[in-house]
Chain A
Amino acid sequence: MAELKEVSLQLPASAEDIAQLEVGSIVYLSGVVYTAREGVYDRVLKDGASLPDELIKASGTNFHCSPAAAADGSGGYNVGGVTATASFRFSKYMAEWLDLTGTKIVIGKGGMTQKDYKEVFAPRGAIYLTTVGYGTGALLGRGVKGVRKVQWLEELGLAQAMWFFDVEKFGPFIVDSDLQGNSLFSQQGELVNQNIDKLYEGLKTPALHRYGETDDRKDELL
């Protein structure tokens, strides 16, 4: 089996670092990574809450993640596992968020659409890394060396709060999108699609269609 290319990046990643990433390569990160998902996006983009700008700048890396973590009783946090959550749900926030924060790397589960990459990510010099598996919580947890800060813990809860992690050889991640807006998931999906018609050959269709298969409410299911 062929080997995949492996790259280690120091955060914040430079424009050159990002430009050299190829879809399908493996990436490890060191530096500061922050988590932000709908709770944080709404708080900042809708409610106008202000961000810890210096830390965001030092990171430039938004992880779509809720950690398995708990307060350790002495003012710190015990971070166990770290796993991404599905990113497609945050598509609508991305343009404004990337503009506001200057974030260049987004990490998550499952990628975004090719359209998002072409129209939102690539023009802003940003790329997307996907977690592997997606259950590599323990491996990623090992890469978290400490919690730099937790923003809005009380207001948003553990899962939605904004965590700033100090990370070292944090990964692995796979490059899903590059600066041309290519997407590994789209490429792989197209290859898989070529086989699909063959799978259904000879299987007769059910008598009743499914509610939800059409958007035309005047259609019958029969």
Chain B
Amino acid sequence: MIANEAIETAGYEIMKKAAIDIPEDYLAGIKESQKTETNTLSGYVIKTMIENYEVATEDRRPMCADTGLPRYYVKIGDNARFGGGFTGIERALRSATARATHDVPLRPNRVHPLWRTEHNNNVGINAPEIEWSFEPDVDWIDVTTVHKGGLFGTDYRMLFPGDGIDGIKRFFLDTLIAFGKRGLCCQPAIVGVGIGGSKDTCMQLGKQAACLRSVGDRNPDEKISELELELKDMGNSIGMGPMGFVGSSMCVDVHVEVGYTHTGGMPVSVHTFCLSSRRATARLHSDGSIEYRTDPQWFTPYMRRETVEWPS
């Protein structure tokens, strides 16, 4: 049985870890970019960012003061048993958010969209978001938090089948160039591209592709995996580095996720997960133990539901 208190403990810990410790896959990725970056200004920015990660970990302070919009992704095994029910999990994560905001401290970013009023703790109406998914044949619960800035670097466009891969590439370039200038999207970034679904699914897939897959991970569909690498090269050939300076470090990686869509359309979304790509995951086991990691392992084969389960 997984106690509700354990969920709150895990939520609190991952809030701290996400805010302070850069995920190792992202760090390895940016060190790769550093090797090939020949521009002095861009190279200086990358070097400084790496120092910043080290100071954050040493001092236990947030790597970036903009907490973004802290949120959660929960994956529950079919065989998991937990004491507080689903709403108990939601209550625990709301409470963990508020406590971590005060204790780390994190910036209380969340305000009412119209009245700009706040509770000073990153909790409010529809905040933090908690997304649910499920996993067959296991008895654990995974809780992932992501802190992603939210003002720049995301866009959506309805393309059509006739626009083809060219259309996707153009939109990808449009978005990176527009938000890359002056470094508004805080590149080098993990870029997520959602293709298909309905508009909201398309946005969700792209967001999850950026935030819930680690650097170096490839889509299991070989052709999509090739597209990911092609887009990555394309992004890095724009001639733009961090802060929009001349350079070659735009994308640390590109992840593409797809969903079946309307036969007449090809919606596409692009999302950038910034220089402070903050994510952390806790796995709660049925024996009460908690394991922490930085790879959310969100896109399981079941999650992508690649097959139809009955003979056609």
- Chain A residues in 8 Å Cβ range of B164: 204
From known contacts A189-B244, A192-B244, infer whether A132 and B59 are also in contact, taking CB-CB under 8 Å: no
Quick check: B244 and A133 within 8 Å, CB to CB? Answer: no
- Chain A residues in 8 Å Cβ range of B45: 132-133
Instruction: Name B46-80 residues within 8 Å CB distance of A.
Output: 48-49, 51-53, 55-56, 59, 61-67
Residue B108 at the A interface, CB < 8 A?
yes
Could you name 30 residue pairs across A and B whose Cβ atoms are closer than 8 Å? A4-B41, A68-B105, A68-B107, A78-B105, A83-B65, A132-B49, A133-B48, A133-B49, A134-B243, A135-B66, A135-B274, A136-B48, A136-B52, A137-B52, A139-B48, A139-B55, A142-B55, A158-B108, A172-B48, A185-B243, A192-B244, A195-B238, A196-B238, A200-B170, A204-B163, A206-B159, A206-B163, A207-B162, A208-B158, A208-B159
Q: How far is the CB of A81 from chain B (nearest CB, A)?
A: 4
Residue A46 at the B interface, CB < 8 A?
no
Quick check: A192 and B240 within 8 Å, CB to CB? Answer: yes
| Alpha-carbon separation in the docked complex, A110 to B184 (Å) | 7
Question: A152-166 vs B: 1/0 string, CB under 8 Å?
Answer: 000001110000000
From known contacts A68-B106, A188-B41, infer whether A203 and B169 are also in contact, taking CB-CB under 8 Å: yes
Q: How far is the CB of B173 from chain A (nearest CB, A)?
A: 6
**Which 3 pairs across A and B sit closest by C-beta, in order of nearness?**
A83-B65, A138-B56, A135-B64
Question: B165-194 vs A: 1/0 string, CB under 8 Å?
Answer: 011011101000100011110100000000
Quick check: A111 and B182 within 8 Å, CB to CB? Answer: yes
Quick check: A81 and B43 within 8 Å, CB to CB? Answer: no
Q: How far is the CB of A186 from chain B (nearest CB, A)?
A: 9
| Alpha-carbon separation in the docked complex, A117 to B44 (Å) | 24
| Alpha-carbon separation in the docked complex, A65 to B65 (Å) | 9
A interface, over-half SS: mixed
Which of B44, B63, B246 is close to A192, meaning CB atoms less than 8 Å apart?
Answer: B246
Quick check: A192 and B239 within 8 Å, CB to CB? Answer: yes
| Alpha-carbon separation in the docked complex, A195 to B239 (Å) | 7
- Count of interface residues, chain B, beta-carbon cutoff 8 Å: 67
Quick check: A133 and B62 within 8 Å, CB to CB? Answer: no
| Alpha-carbon separation in the docked complex, A173 to B276 (Å) | 18
Residue B104 at the A interface, CB < 8 A?
yes
Residue B118 at the A interface, CB < 8 A?
yes
Which of A2, A137, A200, A207 is close to B65, meaning CB atoms less than 8 Å apart?
Answer: A137
Q: How far is the CB of B167 from chain A (nearest CB, A)?
A: 5
Residue B196 at the A interface, CB < 8 A?
no
Which of A4, A185, A206 is close to B244, meaning CB atoms less than 8 Å apart?
Answer: A185
Residue B120 at the A interface, CB < 8 A?
yes
Q: How far is the CB of A209 from chain B (nearest CB, A)?
A: 10
| Alpha-carbon separation in the docked complex, A70 to B108 (Å) | 9
Among A140, A159, A205, chain B packs the most CB atoms within 10 A around the CB of: A159
| Alpha-carbon separation in the docked complex, A159 to B106 (Å) | 11
Quick check: A1 and B38 within 8 Å, CB to CB? Answer: yes
| Alpha-carbon separation in the docked complex, A203 to B111 (Å) | 42
Residue of chain A at shortest CB distance from B156: A210
Which of B53, B101, B160 is close to A208, meaning CB atoms less than 8 Å apart?
Answer: B160
Question: B273-284 vs A: 1/0 string, CB under 8 Å?
Answer: 011100000000
Among B108, B173, B238, chain A packs the most CB atoms within 10 A around the CB of: B108
Question: B144-161 vs A: 1/0 string, CB under 8 Å?
Answer: 000000011000011110
Which of A65, A142, A172 is close to B59, meaning CB atoms less than 8 Å apart?
Answer: A142
Residue of chain A at shortest CB distance from B64: A135
Instruction: Name A89-146 residues within 8 Å CB distance of B.
Output: 110-111, 130, 132-142
- Count of interface residues, chain A, beta-carbon cutoff 8 Å: 55
Residue B245 at the A interface, CB < 8 A?
yes
From known contacts A1-B38, A192-B238, A196-B177, infer whether A137 and B245 are also in contact, taking CB-CB under 8 Å: no
Instruction: Name B1-58 residues within 8 Å CB distance of A.
Output: 38, 40-41, 43-45, 48-49, 51-53, 55-56
Question: B242-274 vs A: 1/0 string, CB under 8 Å?
Answer: 111110000000000000000000000000001
- Chain A residues in 8 Å Cβ range of B162: 207
Residue A62 at the B interface, CB < 8 A?
no
| Alpha-carbon separation in the docked complex, A148 to B118 (Å) | 25
| Alpha-carbon separation in the docked complex, A191 to B162 (Å) | 34
Which of A24, A158, A188 is close to B107, meaning CB atoms less than 8 Å apart?
Answer: A158
Quick check: B239 and A134 within 8 Å, CB to CB? Answer: no
Q: How far is the CB of A177 from chain B (nearest CB, A)?
A: 13
Among A70, A80, A195, A199, chain B packs the most CB atoms within 10 A around the CB of: A80
- Chain A residues in 8 Å Cβ range of B182: 110-111, 185, 189
Residue A10 at the B interface, CB < 8 A?
no
Instruction: Name A197-217 residues within 8 Å CB distance of B.
Output: 199-200, 203-208, 210
